[in-house]
Each structure stands twice: as C-alpha cells, then as structure tokens.
Amino acid sequence: MRDRGEFLFTSESVSEGHPDKVADRISDTVLDAYLAADPYARVACETLVTTNRIVLAGETRGPATISPEYLAHLARLAVHDIGYDQAGFSWRDAKIDVLLHAQSEDIAAGVDAAGNKDEGAGDQGIMFGYACSETEVLMPAPIHYAHLILRRISELRKIGDAHVAGLLPDAKSQVTLRYVDGKPVAATSIVVSTQHVDGMTQAAIKEMLRPLITELLPEGWMCPEAEFYVNPTGNFVIGGPDGDCGLTGRKIIVDTYGGAAPHGGGAFSGKDPTKVDRSAAYACRYLAKNVVAAGLAERCTIQVSYAIGISHPLSVYVDLNGTGRDIDPAKLERTLRDLVNLSPRGIREHLHLNRPIYVPTTAYGHFGREPDADLGTFTWEKTDLVPALKSAFGR
C-alpha cells in the first residue's frame, strides 16, 4: 500500500461509552479484580450489555472472595465512571447476571506448569505487532488521531468543561488521511458522531467540535469544511447499550492499528496473560516498537504463533516492509528471541503483566499509550531494548 505515490487511508475509533467498549471495560474490571486478589488467577470473561441489562459469562479460577455480588458491584461502578445514568441504561438499576464458572480442567492442565513442563499457551493462534515512524508514539497516524479526538472529548466531558457541554458518553470518530510518498500530509475527511442531550442541533455540535479537532491535528491538517461530518444522521440522543447491544472483543481493529497492520483475530479484554491472544500481541508490539525506535526500520510487522499447552512460540516472523536499513530479517528474528523469552511465562514476567493494569487499556487503543511507572500500565510501550538492538546491528 505505502509503495504508492499518493493514496488515502482511513481508521476509526470509538469512545468508552460505545456499547462494545462498555463491555470491554466491564470484562477487564473483572480481570483486574481477580489479579488484585491473586496475580496468578485465570480469567476469560465475556460481557454483553443491552437496554438496562449486563450479563457476565466465561470462566475463572481464583479466590472465592471474588463473589458474584462483588463483581456486580464493580460492574456498576464501571458504568458509573463511564457516565451512564439514563432511562435505558443506568449504573443504578441495570439488571446484572453473573454467569462465570470454573476454568475447564482440560485447559488448566495444558496451561499450568508441572514438573519439567513450563506454562503453556492458553490457546493456539497467531498474533501480530506493528510500529511505524508516522507519529511520535510510533503508531499509524489515522488511528492515532481518531483516538486523540475522542479521548479529548471524553476528558473535557468528565470535568464538566463548557466546550463540550451536552455531549454524552457514546461516540465514534473516523479520520481519513492523504499520504504522499508514504507519509501522511493532511486529513481529507473527518467524521465524528457523538451522543448528546435532547435539543442540541447538528450545527451547534459541529461548531463545538471544529476548534477542538483543529487544535489536535498538526498545523494545516484540518480537512475541508465540506468533508467535516458531525452526526451525519442528525439526532443521536439514544446511545450506549440502550441504542445498540455491546459485546466484549468486537472492536479489535480499533484496539490495535486501525487496519494499517494485520490482526490475528483474537480479542484482548477480559483475558488474563496466559491467553496469548493478549500477552503475545502486547509482546509483538513491544518488539516492533523497539525495532523502529532503534532506527532499524521505518515500519516493522512481527508475527508469532503458538499451540495450546506448548510454551515456546512455533514461529517468529519479522517484516520490515521494505524499510529495513540493510537489516537481515532472519538475524533480527534471532536477536529478538534472544532478548525476550516469548513463552507465556517469559512475556508475563518481562512485561509484568500479572497485575491489575488492564482497565485503562479498554478505550482509545491498547497501543501508542504512555507507560506509567507508578501504575505499571502499558509496559509494552517501553523502548528499553533500543540499546541492545543498536549494539547487535552496529548502529
């Protein structure tokens, strides 16, 4: 794609109030509760949200102190934090069913360490990681700015800022950028659909959002007025789970690279780090980001694969997308495997994943975020492998 001289590329984001993101938030709230009580708890929690109804299902293995009543309470607090207290979906009186059950003994036997057997992967699968030099956070520009717009609206909404008065939690954004010689140079269209209180006009919301978005984009990047679409269908009063059913894991492209890189297909939220769908995807992003940060390539895609119950990856593949600076991909594959143990246990220990750090990942992307040393979040965004990579390749 980027070999073309000029092209358009589009990515979308959704806010924390989007029904699928409400479900992701609750699933990772359950995960964090278990990991706070026992770092080695096992969780695979799926959530469904609809009109005044929340259903938790899946499997867990952890302390009995994590009761269904406690999880229902935490789910209400999550909905309260998002901001839903409307007639069709409220943290106060939504009915909550907790249908979690014990982890399958067959799965546990394959995953658990025993004797000379290391911890195995929680399932088979392929996972991808990606990084590029388009933005300071080494993420593709379309998804980066799509996230940035909604994060800013949410931050202002939660502090009661008058600039977004009347806007409600459910929202979507879509950013189309024009690329010239493989580099993004401007937005050609921007779409924002945001829930709002009854009585606000489409024109008023557009006037409200234009300066906010213009300020977030690089200078001169704002799209033409005719290509700036705000609430294209008109009213957006009924939103969130009252307007549409939400399910955990249904926004995997929003969670990753906005379609600019491959995705293995597995969702992240609600899964503990023995599930390589999550932990290995984080490890792949970590490795790819360090390759680009070390100046070895402008774009890097990494794939790994696993078999259930087997600790080591079956394959590690690196693609520098034609941007490697005289770098041998086979040598890079070997170097990365030497630097990081890519078994589920190795990833968990290297990135410190057995902690209650997952709620912040559930909206505005799992990648391209700032690591927080105090909270221990987004450790996979560190670039601490850069010195070793530069040394290995004489840079």
Asked if the model's pLDDT at residue 106 lies above 80, the reply is: no
Cα distance between residue 46 and residue 23, in whole Å: 8
d(CA 170, CA 193): 8
Question: Residue 355 corresponds to which tokens in the numbers above?
Answer: 């902690």
Q: Is 267 annotated as a binding residue?
A: yes
Check the annotation: does 331 bind a ligand.
no
> Is 80 exceeded by the pLDDT of residue 390?
yes
User: What's the CATH fold of domain 125-133+251-392?
Assistant: GMP Synthetase; Chain A, domain 3 (3.30.300)
- Overall average pLDDT of the 243-251 stretch: 96
pLDDT at 4 exceeding the cut of 80: no
What pLDDT score does 108 carry? 57
The average pLDDT across 298-327 equals 94
Within this chain, domains 19-111 and 125-133+251-392 share the same CATH topology: yes
The pLDDT score that the predictor gives to residue 109 is 56
Does 46 count as an annotated binding residue? yes
172 annotated ligand binder = yes
Report whether 95 belongs to an annotated binding site.
no
Per-residue pLDDT of 363-388, as tens digits, reads 999 999 999 988 899 999 999 999 99
Q: Is 251 annotated as a binding residue?
A: yes
Whether residue 114 is predicted with pLDDT greater than 70 in this model: the reply is no
User: Helix (H) and strand (E) counts for the chain?
Assistant: 10, 13
- Higher-pLDDT residue of 24 and 3 is 24
pLDDT exceeds 80 at position 272 = yes
SS3 102: strand
On the question of pLDDT at 246 being above 80, the answer is yes
Q: Where are the domains of the chain?
A: 6-13+141-237, 19-111, 125-133+251-392
Query: Does 86 count as an annotated binding residue?
Result: no
Residue 18 labelled as part of a binding site: yes
390 in a known ligand binding site: no
Per-residue confidence at 309, pLDDT binned at 50, 70, 90?
confident
Q: What is the pLDDT of residues 50-79, one digit of tens each?
A: 999 999 999 999 999 999 999 999 999 999
- Does the annotation place 20 within a ligand binding site? yes
For position 273, what pLDDT does the model report? 93
Per-position b or e across 185-219, b if 16+ CB within 10 A of its CB: ebbbbbbbbbbbeeebebeebeebbbebbbeebee
Asked if the model's pLDDT at residue 394 lies above 70, the reply is yes
Q: Is 70 exceeded by the pLDDT of residue 334? A: yes
SS3 state at 191: strand
Please give the average per-residue pLDDT across 285-293, as a whole number. 98
Q: Which of 81-85, 114-118, 193-197 has the lowest mean pLDDT?
A: 114-118
| Predicted local distance difference test score (pLDDT) of residue 395 | 83
Average pLDDT over residues 141-148: 98
Mean pLDDT (the chain, rounded) = 94
The CATH architecture of the domain made up of 19-111 is 2-Layer Sandwich (3.30)
Domain boundaries 6-13+141-237, corresponding CATH code: 3.30.300.10
Burial tier of 133 (Cβ tally within 10 Å: 0-12, 13-18, 19+): middle
